[in-house]
């Protein structure tokens, strides 16, 4: 599961195992305040923030984890 999520974040688990901890952290990340986890009519998980009228199939923190990985890799 960690390797699959790493791939989703853009991390090549075979070539860049030193970055797998980012995927592990992303998998354990709680939802930010105001966000809830829900399921659509087909059972797929999505996230909703009522106060901002936003819904997404992507965890609200995934863009931050993707960006963090890219910054670390570029350093």
Residue 35: closest CA among 8, 53, 19? 53
* pLDDT value for 9: 97
Give me the mean pLDDT over the 33-54 stretch.
97
* pLDDT value for 4: 97
Residues linked to residue 54 through DSSP beta bridges, in sequence order: 49
Split at pLDDT 50, 70, 90, the class of 29 is very high
Give me the mean pLDDT over the 17-37 stretch.
97
* pLDDT value for 57: 98
Give me the mean pLDDT over the 16-34 stretch.
97
In this structure, what token pair is assigned to residue 54? Answer: 């936003």
**Domains of the chain with CATH codes:** 2-74 (2.20.70.10)
Task: Determine what percent of the chain is predicted with pLDDT higher than 70.
Answer: 100
Prediction pTM value: 0.87
């Amino acid at each position: 599961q960690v390797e699959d999520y790493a791939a989703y974040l853009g991390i090549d688990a075979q070539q860049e195992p030193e970055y797998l901890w980012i995927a592990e952290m992303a998998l354990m990340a709680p939802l930010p305040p105001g966000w809830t986890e829900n399921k659509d009519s087909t059972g797929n998980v999505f996230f909703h923030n009522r106060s901002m009228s936003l819904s997404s199939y992507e965890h609200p923190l995934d863009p931050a984890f993707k960006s963090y990985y890219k910054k670390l890799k570029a350093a």
